[in-house]
Chains A and B, each alone.
Chain A
Amino acid sequence: MSDSLLSRIFGAAARLLSPGARTAVFGAVLTYLFANAALRPVFLEPPPVDEITWAQRSLTPWWFPYEAASTMKNQSPEYRLQYYWCLHHPTVARIVYGSVLRGAGFGAPPEVEYDYKLSRIENLRLGNNLPYEMRVPLRITNAVFVLGAVLLAYFGLLRVHPSRALAAASVLPIIYEPTIAGPFNSAVGYVGADAVLLFMLAAFWFAWLALKDRGLAGVLVLGAIAGATTATKLNGALVIAGAVAYYAICGNGWQRLWRAAALCAVAGAVFLALNPIYFRGDLAWAWKVFADTVRQLMRLRDVTGQESWVLDNRREVAMTLFPYLPFVIPLAALALDAGRRAWFAPTFFWAGAIIAGNLAGVKIFLPTYAAPVRFASIVAIMAITLSKIADLREKRPEADATSGGGALAARGPGAPAGAREAKDA
């Protein structure tokens, strides 16, 4: 009786709203819940490491100055500092933060500098931290980008299962994921490239679902987003690896080659356009910049890896970054069930590239390093779960109509289940 009453109430409420309005209502609910979760990391968390450095590098012009000097040693200190900032991180997050800070009226970084030889607590005591009025706009920017990622995940999951309520419920684990909107060093609370990276990763996944059958135009758009993702943070290039693997494995004939090549070419062009440091010389200069970038990454990784607080056990790092490892068997079974869906292959390659690439490359645990892995994991797990729910809803009427699954038994467990699968396949 109560079920019937509840379903009537929800049915009546649903009839009052158009489908678009219902989507917007659930989007508003998610926005409210996320804003609630993000309040603490935005306004209350003490400054983490690097915040002040990020303000400095964001207020440095992102285009690269030209100085006619023969060697780097002869360049001015400002030039060398800007070169170092360019190697340290690509430009997109710096452009975003820089525009926010300038828009908020801050044209220059604070006088103080973070002393990396001291601990975070000692730096806090000495006042080596970003002023509150500079910190909060940057963290609000983070929150907006992560909210964008959450909503893109919601819209993407709507392509997997048409129920808005289920799709909205499926992104709740992202909202309450400690590495994304948690209290300490999360993607929202830490001023860095990670919030923008999450947004770009989500944008790539959503665009892939929407555009994968649009031929060359779709490939070009995907390439542009992939280039911007790589220009946000270098491990964003993993989405290019995932897309290339997808086209190479799932494509037909020459499509295997030209789609992958076109995507790489566009992504590379966008990356270079956003990182003009590569154009300040000939090909040897560009190669030098690339080699210096890799060398810088390795050096930072080694230096950080020697800190006393980091994990030095690869198995523990893998488990902390990706805590769903013990569930590999049930998740594989769910993935097999979803394997025929049109959305599955892009989602699988997207999430697989992000998870595997980060597990292979990241040597230490930081919440911001874990955030992309957790985000991709949750999206993929909830997608295959929603797909299984859709399967069950389709099979129930058939099983009822054939008194205990006789038709299914005749068809066999490996055969397509219904019209939806036929359409997707």
Chain B
Amino acid sequence: MPKGAWSRLAIPRGMALVPVIAVLGLAAGRVPVPAAAAAFAATVFAGAWFILRSPISAAAAAAPIALLAPWRYCPQASNMAMFSLGAAMLWLLWLWLVRPGAKAPNITLVALAAAAAAALSTTCATVVAASAVLYMLRGKSVRRGAVAAALLAPAAISVYFHWLGERLMYGASTFSLWRELLLLRYDVWSAPAWSIVSHTWRYDDIMSQFASGIQWTAVAAACVLLYPFRSRWWAPATFTGGAFLFLGAVFLGGNPHFHYSLPVEAALLVPAGIGGLARIAEQFPAFRRFAGRERAGGGRGQSPAASAASRNAS
């Protein structure tokens, strides 16, 4: 392949993993949790690297996620891990699309990502993909019909296969899985198996009784830490993704605990970790030389001077 072919295809090299994982997800039905957790941590690492421009900082941002993952086979947490992976990949895609100096989003890429996200968690991520992509495409002159088809096709295929399964297995004439297909299921937000398979029963008993559920103290601290970063180019994608996962878990997760819920862990640790590392790099020139500094720029349409001013203002 001649040099520069990747860039001419306008598909970032990292995103080539998306269809691969999607195909794997479709083929296996359920990807084992360790594989999903590894892919999730790698996606977080890639996103953090993209923002902070340093593998050391990116590793530091992804390390808590990797340390909290069970790294054991636990089918009960499979849906949660795959859903989180889909959300993380959308976040990565969003970052790529709004990176400083980026042009209008590539329709092929958007369609691929939507299909991959839908395939990863079969139903619910389609809604997430639709919301995120429609937000990204607001005000842009793209072929909206094609985008809608790309978004709806995976959902339609998914509904069709579910309906077919119901028809063949139970002989049902009507379709009864609307709720499961349209709403995000309980087990994607919180799964006790996430923690239980890798800890003693006593630890889980203690954490569920005495660990304050969703670490509200840390939530407050993280919000205050991240407030000055609200005008950075990576803020809309990172904060929206985090808020979506956090609010979804709080309102739909049925009393989720921090250590039971990968979405809550990701929602709190990823933005706070990136914000914290960016702040440390601003404070310490030595650390900046050692571990890099975040990618400058205010996203599409913002001048480098304005973005530098917004960075300094924090």
Contacts and interface: CB of A to CB of B under 8 A. Distances in A.
Contacts of B283: 333, 336-337, 413-414
Contacts of A416: none
Interface in A352-367: 365, 367
Interface stretch (B18-26, B139-147, B174-182, B270-278): B270-278
A5 interface: no
A384 B284 CA distance: 18
Nearest to B277: A329
Contact of B282 (A326, A330, A377, A413): A413
A333 B275 contact: yes
Contacts of A332: 276, 280
B227 interface: yes
Interface in B143-175: none
A316 B277 contact: no
A184 B209 contact: yes
A14 interface: no
A329 B276 contact: yes
Contacts of B222: 327, 330
Interface string A384-418: 11001100100100010000111011001110000
Contact of A330 (B210, B265, B276, B313): B276
B202 A333 contact: no
B5 interface: no
Contact of B312 (A313, A389, A409): A409
Contact of B60 (A179, A329, A399): A329
Nearest to B268: A327
A330 B272 contact: yes
A327 B310 contact: no
B27 interface: no
A319 interface: yes
A310 B277 contact: no
A170 to B, nearest CB: 8
Contacts of B225: 330, 333-334, 388
A8 to B, nearest CB: 25
A41 interface: no
Contacts of B268: 327
B55 interface: no
Given A323-B207, A336-B280, A330 B309 contact: no
A324 interface: yes
B215 interface: yes
Interface string A155-194: 0000000000000000001001111001010000000000
Interface of A: 173, 176-179, 182, 184, 309-311, 313, 316, 319-320, 323-324, 326-327, 329-334, 336-337, 365, 367, 370, 377-378, 381-382, 384-385, 388-389, 392, 395, 399, 404-406, 408-409, 412-414
Interface of B: 60-61, 64, 67-68, 199-200, 202-203, 206-207, 209-212, 215-218, 220-222, 224-225, 227-228, 258, 265, 268-269, 272-273, 275-277, 279-280, 282-285, 306, 308-310, 312-313
Interface pairs A-B: 3 shortest CB-CB: A405-B313, A333-B276, A330-B276
